[in-house]
A and B are shown apart, each in its own frame.
Chain A
Amino acid sequence: MERRFSPVLFAALSLGIAVLYVPILVLIAYSFNASPLVSVWGGFSTHWYVELMHNRQILQAALLSLEVAVASSTAAVVLGTLTSIALVRFARFPGRLLLTGMVNAPLVMPEIITGITQLLLFVSMLQMFSWPHRGFTTIVIAHIAFCTAYVTVTVQSRLQSADRSLEEAAMDLGSSPAQAFVEVTLPIIAPALISSWLLSFTLSLDDLVISSFVSGPGASTLPMVIYSKVKLGVSPDVNALASLIICLVGTCVMAAGYFMRRAERRRVLDMQIAERG
């Protein structure tokens, strides 16, 4: 393929990337500002980070958000993997179209609609079955629903490229189909499972709109607390908190990318060995 990189393309790309990153870098820089006035630079300080560690409301919200994120991303990886196996391996089954629709729709559905409809379901369920009470449980259920969509998309593409002949070889050697899948294909798609867990984790950690609808009194996630603070304007302790979250999420995403790339390299290497052998 011809690799030409015209100056125009280079400029467009650089500008786009600058637009994406400058605001975040400025925010991180200002989180180390000693001055409580957000527009004046008063020297370097970690004062706002220390302040955060003493803010009970924020610590509690952070803990709730982490618990929700771990629970919902774990469940979403299980459901999303099952969905992608169903969609990739079973060409026809009743409900296939419905399932495809339900994993694609959350990717574009405005969160505000998903949030309000799910809340109305939970409220009606509570009336009928006295379960679930709004709070941790309802937030986790709502997060599982949209994370499952993202997991399915990620795992599905990996599963499509996984080599079926290895599984067939295992079955010829006497494995049951389920055993062949678990022992042969599961290790191949494992990196996609890890990276989709990490991505679900960050999505859940971030969600404001859906959580605000389905949460109940007393259960405020971190984004809910941040939103109510940000509504009052730019403040230095939110800068510090935002910087911490951005670093945490950034690390997760880079780890996800790393796992995907390492798996890809291994796969290519295996194929080369197989071809030589």
Chain B
Amino acid sequence: MRLLERPGRWLIILPPLLFLTVFFLIPFAFAFKISLAETAPRVPPFTDIFSRTADGHLQLSVSPANFKYLLTDEVYGVAYLYSLQTAFFSTLICLALGYPMAYAISRASKTTQSILLLIIILPFWTSFLLRVYALEGIIRDGGILNTVLLRLGLISQPLKIMRTSVAVYLGIIYSYLPFMVLPLFATLEKLDNTLLEAAADLGSPPWRAFLDVTVPQSIPGVIAGSMLVFIPAVGEFVIPSLLGGPDNLMIGRVLWDEFFGNHDWPVASAVAIAFLLLLAGPIAIYQYYNVRQQEA
């Protein structure tokens, strides 16, 4: 490496490597450790895993009780399944909405493209919490949607959307749609047009060329976009908490309540660890495609 001498390299590599290891990676080890402890009425509210016995030996006391508890208490299984189901269908709907949008943007002229992208990105950076709140203003019983529909005479009673699954779906789709559009656009933009021309020359009708050429080439974007929607959506807390009802128990909400409501840190840690194991597959897929795209 000519650019920087070998010892100098570590001045660049070490600060972020150490910071992220200590403050992003190691925390998972602590969460695992505490998930094996028990709650205790003290500060911090859990027992020590390592302790010294009277004769100075190190004593290890771990218990898988919290994980067993997750399996026995129905609420966790139900919440995990409900979260997976909600995230899965929201991802499909986002894909159905986002693909034509991304495709349209990729077909636009360069100037229009950058304007359209800015329009899509702008809400992506606008406060997540405030966008969910803004959506509440639209769909609540006396909100704009019901007012308009009532005035038009299309409905005689306000639609009950708030505090239902529909509201949770709307919230997730509304919040995560840009995460789907951007990676899809990134792959569709790089699409090799000569292939489409070749398909046309060989007599393929446009829809056939789209299915045979465009769709297969956009698969990396489909996967990246789906993971960017699916993984955070499974762990969503703000949306089910503000828009959902008591039945819409998503795992993020259970974790939050366990932690802030019940102050049961070990069980909350166990929920987080179990949750992480559940997401390990999708996260690995995302990382794999991401690294491959960056190296390309």
- Listed in ascending order, the chain A residues whose CB lies under 8 Å from chain B are 1-5, 8-10, 12-13, 16-17, 19-24, 26-27, 30, 38-39, 78-80, 82-83, 85-87, 89-91, 93, 95, 98-114, 116-118, 120-121, 123-124, 127, 141-142, 144-145, 148, 156, 167, 171, 177-178, 181, 199, 202-203, 205-206, 208-209, 212-213, 223, 226-227, 230-231, 234, 238-239, 242, 245-246, 249-250, 252-254, 257, 261
Nearest CB to that of B2 among chain A residues?
A177
A245 touches B127 (CB 8 A): yes
B234 touches A257 (CB 8 A): no
Whether a CB of chain A sits under 8 angstroms from the CB of B144 is yes
Give bound CA distance, A121 to B119, whole Å: 39
A209 touches B23 (CB 8 A): no
One of B59-67, B74-82, B134-142 contacting the partner: B134-142
| Interface pairs A-B: 9 shortest CB-CB | A110-B235, A117-B27, A39-B142, A12-B100, A23-B134, A9-B104, A121-B27, A102-B20, A27-B134
Nearest CB to that of B117 among chain A residues?
A257
Question: Using an 8 Å CB-CB cutoff, how does the interface string of B79-120 with A read, 1 for contact, 0 for none?
Answer: 000000000000000000110110111011100001010111
Contacts of A99 in B (CB 8 A): 13, 16-17, 20
A213 touches B259 (CB 8 A): yes
B140 touches A108 (CB 8 A): no
Nearest CB to that of A113 among chain B residues?
B272
- Listed in ascending order, the chain B residues whose CB lies under 8 Å from chain A are 1-5, 8-9, 12-13, 15-17, 19-28, 30-31, 34, 44, 97-98, 100-101, 103-105, 107-109, 114, 116, 118-123, 125-131, 133-138, 140, 142-144, 147, 174, 177-178, 181, 193, 227-228, 231-232, 234-238, 241-242, 252, 255-256, 259-260, 265, 268-269, 272, 275-276, 279, 283, 286-287, 290-291, 294
Contacts of A120 in B (CB 8 A): 27, 30-31, 34, 265, 269
Nearest CB to that of B276 among chain A residues?
A113
A116 touches B138 (CB 8 A): no
Smallest Cβ distance from A195 to chain B, in angstroms? 11
A199 touches B4 (CB 8 A): no
Contact pick for A208, options B9, B44, B129, B259, CB 8 Å? B129
Smallest Cβ distance from A163 to chain B, in angstroms? 14
B104 touches A23 (CB 8 A): no
Known: A21-B123, A104-B290. A124 touches B30 (CB 8 A): yes
Smallest Cβ distance from A235 to chain B, in angstroms? 10
Contacts of B119 in A (CB 8 A): 17, 20
Known: A10-B104, A99-B20, A257-B121. A20 touches B174 (CB 8 A): yes
Contacts of A253 in B (CB 8 A): 121-122, 125-126
Give bound CA distance, A209 to B128, whole Å: 11
B24 touches A242 (CB 8 A): no
Nearest CB to that of B142 among chain A residues?
A39
Contact pick for A117, options B19, B30, B105, B286, CB 8 Å? B30
Smallest Cβ distance from A220 to chain B, in angstroms? 14
